[in-house]
Amino acid sequence: MRIAIGIDHAGTSLHQTVWQAVSNGGNELVDLGQHDDYPDSALGVCRAIAAGEAERGILVCGSGAGVSVAANKLPGIRASVCHDHYTASQCVTHDDCNVMCLGARVIGPAIAEELTLAFCAAKFSGEERYVRRLGKILQMERDGMEASW
């Protein structure tokens, strides 16, 4: 799988760790480098996913929150802040997330490596209830506040 990585100025301490974990997991790395502002990192990773240059992305800022907010503004992106193993895996298996957001000021390198491996290895389950919920999310993305079911 191709994984795009974007880092802002506050995420630099985890750049090498995430890069190495993606590679160690047998994935192809699309390293989009570092930016001063987290929206720039988020936009680059999301563009790579939208263009088919990557299947998933990993964004790192200070808390994970900023890149998550920015990424979730873009169509087709489902980003989640992940600071534990369960969420890193579950956000894919249940919610079909395609972007994981990490906070370099919240977790250290060992946890970042574990979460990167879990996120990259996870697969969407395709269970009916998760497909139904994903359909509602896609309708919200398409119809905005006018969405209804």
Catalytic residues: 61, 94
Q: 60: closest CA among 84, 95, 35?
A: 35
- Contact, 99 vs 80, CB < 8 A? yes
CA angle 127, 131, 133 (to 5 degrees): 120
Residue keyed to tokens 């994935």: 27
Which two tokens mark 79? 């980003």
Q: 14: closest CA among 60, 49, 70?
A: 60
Distance CA 17, CA 146 (A): 42
Q: Taking the C-alpha atoms of 137, 142, 147 and 148 in order, what is their torsion angle to the nearest 10 degrees?
A: -70
Residue keyed to tokens 């390198």: 109
